[in-house]
Chain A
């Protein structure tokens, strides 16, 4: 997995609570057997009208948000299905950071497996970022994972919290299957003492 240390990028807003993984990537696009190429389907039914035309009212479609790499949204982001196609689509579209007040557990976990940094801030802090994004054309945030800081050109200097293990995991771009396999002796020992009926 690719390591994540820091980035400075345009912020795009999706101003809704409970953005579910069906909205992030609708089911008709889950049939592919690859991990790549899902970005074209991100927020598909919000991004495009039924006839295929671009929905100009959907914020991330607006010219000022083109090339965005930071996505801001509201509480319970990524709720619903466990589909990892959701973070694959987010990443493939170009987002590396998501900022919201809270996330559904499975989605949150899936982000780290793909080198996406999901940042949790308070409702007030997220609201402030929405206002800054609306106010300044081409608004950019700088995300520093090393120091757990968010800054912008307008004086923002915000610390964010992140579990230390998860931080290291992203900074180093670790392969967690490899890490677990370092404990193979313990796995084998465990297997030898499980009740026989468990198989």
Chain B
């Protein structure tokens, strides 16, 4: 495509002229449809179909527009919510004045620039990557950006979705476009099928533990294989969500009947739905198309995962032990593992199932959806949270909360000793009042176990919702495959 004139480029896009003969990956099909201008040696200018905005990474962008006297080009393609700072109890009483200012600033900015805002009074307020798909804003073939790295979540629908910085937030506001160098393509192929107790979270934690936190830097991943096809939409979102933890620009899953059924009837899904579905059916990688890199992952042998360190790649099987840094292959990895174990206060050789915890967080854009809460409640039903553990459940959106309450999941959690909270990002990054105290150890369904992520001196272990509940009840990590599920008996 390089070097073609603008005129020719547009014609290609209209009838896919030269591309008919070319085998293309899913990523290339979406990319080609969105390039509005390309010159040799320069990044492409691509069109953005959906811009999601939240309170933390937008104020400086709105201010930039004001300073340069620019408007938002397409407020109708721009949607905002507040999630990072929001308290999960007594939510209208934001005690931190700077948090409150950030939330009030978003409200004012959305009013000034004509952007639809899902605020705390709206049922659809929630974690931006939970509420967007839930109301049907996310669908196949779109380009989607947000000033948030977990925008990769939306790739579960076969949309090209990636996180951007605040300068680029301003760029999209002003132009509805971005300048982007074309990323390379990678197929991550899941071979085999999941065994009981192994979740979507374990799939992606397993991949990152095996290949590291930068194996996909510069690439857009497409996840393929039977283990992906059989995932629900919410499980696919969990996988794509953590693409960024492998360094990927974005993660994609080709849309199929699961996708089309999920989206049907959602508020912002296309009105002419059948016509849209016909378009979406084209969004698959052509047989014979090639990726720049292909990576294989064996699902048959995968078991529940727990991280032990301060990087999402520092993870292992629940049946395994804390590793010995001296066994790691490079000097930098050995040093990183030593630092991590010191921070985490863990001794090499300790079985993962002997690590005691103080806190459990269930929620986030990774695992804060209704199916996550159902899976968590299934394990919790009929049990009690350990005396040594504080456990909170934070629904990903107002709508997830409402649905959970309709199903009585809130009662299951409360009876088991969990706190039932309001929607927001909460302890995934602890910008709101939900913060670990120094030295506290948390089993968390979120996506990052960085030093201080959940609070200064806090120690985070990433797990699936089912594993988090089992840990809450036993007070230490527990292989959920051994769990005696009581719900069937009780029902």
Contacts and interface: CB of A to CB of B under 8 A. Distances in A.
Given A17-B336, A196-B272, A198-B142, A164 B41 contact: yes
A163 B181 contact: yes
B456 A82 contact: no
B451 interface: yes
B456 to A, nearest CB: 6
A23 B448 CA distance: 12
Contact of B429 (A27, A34, A181, A199): A27
A114 interface: yes
Contacts of A34: 60, 63
Given A75-B332, A82-B147, A165 B42 contact: yes
Contact of A180 (B175, B249, B272): B175
B247 A31 contact: no
Contacts of A28: 431
Contacts of A186: 6, 10, 36-37, 45
A180 B179 contact: yes
Interface size class of A (residues with CB under 8 A): 35 or more
Nearest to A22: B450
B165 interface: yes
B408 interface: no
A144 interface: no
A142 B114 CA distance: 48
Given A84-B165, A176-B171, A183-B37, A104 B98 contact: no
A110 B167 contact: yes
B57 interface: yes
B311 A18 contact: yes
B171 A180 contact: yes
A32 B98 contact: yes
Given A27-B430, A50-B438, A186-B36, A80 B149 contact: yes
Contacts of B276: 195, 197
A73 to B, nearest CB: 11
A105 B148 contact: no
Nearest to A35: B60
B235 interface: no
Contact of B57 (A83, A164, A193): A83
B49 A82 contact: no
Contacts of B49: 194, 198-199
A8 B336 CA distance: 31
A84 B167 contact: yes
Contacts of A105: 217-218, 247, 249
Nearest to A46: B451
Nearest to A185: B6
Contacts of A198: 49, 142, 270
Interface in A47-106: 50, 74-76, 79-84, 87, 102-106
Interface string B62-85: 010000101001001100000011
A199 B45 CA distance: 20
A189 B10 contact: yes
Nearest to A87: B165
Contacts of A183: 36-37, 45, 177
Nearest to B432: A27
21 contacts: A18-B311, A20-B448, A26-B456, A27-B453, A30-B431, A31-B102, A32-B98, A33-B63, A33-B105, A35-B63, A76-B214, A80-B149, A80-B448, A81-B148, A84-B60, A176-B179, A179-B179, A180-B45, A186-B6, A197-B275, A198-B142
Q: Which 7 A-B pairs have the closest CB atoms?
A: A197-B270, A113-B167, A84-B165, A33-B59, A110-B165, A82-B163, A31-B98
Given A28-B431, A33-B60, A198-B142, 13 more contacts: A16-B339, A17-B335, A17-B336, A23-B452, A26-B452, A33-B63, A76-B213, A82-B147, A105-B217, A163-B181, A165-B42, A187-B176, A199-B49
